[in-house]
Amino acid sequence: MKSKNKIMSEPNLDAALVEEAKKGETKAFELLVNRYQQKVANVIAKFVRDHHEIQDVAQEVFIKVFRALPNFRGDSSFYTWIYRIAVNTAKNHLVAKGRRIQNAPVEFEEAENFSSNEEYRNLDTPDAVYARDELEATMSKAIASLPEDLRSAIILREVDGLSYEQIAEKMDCPIGTVRSRIFRARDAVDQVLKPLKLTESTRKTNVK
């Protein structure tokens, strides 16, 4: 069993990535964004209903985070910090949207002129919608087809947020087995996702 003092906890992992990003390592920032993108979207979804708007606001949140990163001193955890930024950005988005609607009513002619209307241009293409739906369907199928012990381990970890030690207790098995089960569950889904993402990137390249 690994000593708790020797492992890099999640807050420490975030701090290490933040330090790298502060040094100008954009890849480190990308890893951070992909790590917290869903949590941020979940927060924004409390205020904003539209899926496209949620994605836009989430993007705005991380752009703000990137700009404010030099000022982040680590007094609070990284997630606490971006949570506050996400809440403020979502609220500001609602206020700005309210003003836009109040001050600039959409003309019928403008609405018809699809290409010149910024509001309507942000809509996803049918390809993107299809890709997202396909991604979710594939993932759902992959998780459902996992062996019971792997599925239980990954759900206890990702949904219930238990540590490896707690899962080991819950499943009444050694912690090494938990490590292995969680990894095998992730790897099984990863194997299904890889060709799908490859197809998606090829499709994007062809569209370009």
Q: Please, which of residues 31-60 interact with another protein by CB under 8 A?
A: 31-35, 37-42, 44-46, 49, 51, 54-55, 58-59
Chosen residue from 27, 84, 91, 99 binding another protein by CB under 8 A: 27
Backbone angles phi, psi at 96, to 5 degrees: -65, -40
Among residues 70, 89, 186, 203, the one that binds another protein under rule CB under 8 A: 186
Q: How many residues bind another protein (CB under 8 A)?
A: 65
How many CB atoms are located within 10 Å of the residue 86 CB? Answer: 27
Binders of another protein in range 3-22 (CB under 8 A): 6-13, 16-17, 20
55 or 110: CB nearest another protein: 55
Given the complex with another protein, which of 119 and 158 has the nearer CB atom?
158
* 131 touches 201 (CB < 8 A): no
CA 126 to chain centre: 22
What's the rounded Cα separation, in Å, for the pair 78 and 10? 10
Helix (H) or strand (E) holding 167, with range, is helix 164-171
Q: Are 95 and 131 in contact (CB under 8 A)?
A: no
Yes or no: say if 154 and 180 are a contact pair by the CB < 8 Å rule. no
- Could you give the 3-state DSSP secondary structure of residue 105? coil
> Which residues from 127-166 bind another protein, rule CB under 8 A?
132, 135-136, 139-140, 143, 154-155, 157-159, 163-164
Convert residues 62-101 into a mask of x (bound to another protein by CB under 8 A) and - (unbound): xx--x-----------------------------------
Query: How many other CB atoms are there within 10 angstroms of residue 194's CB atom?
Result: 10
CA atoms within 13 A on the CB side of 203: 12
Chain positions contacting another protein, by CB under 8 A: 2, 6-13, 16-17, 20, 25-35, 37-42, 44-46, 49, 51, 54-55, 58-59, 62-63, 66, 132, 135-136, 139-140, 143, 154-155, 157-159, 163-164, 179-180, 182-183, 186-187, 189-190, 193-194, 197
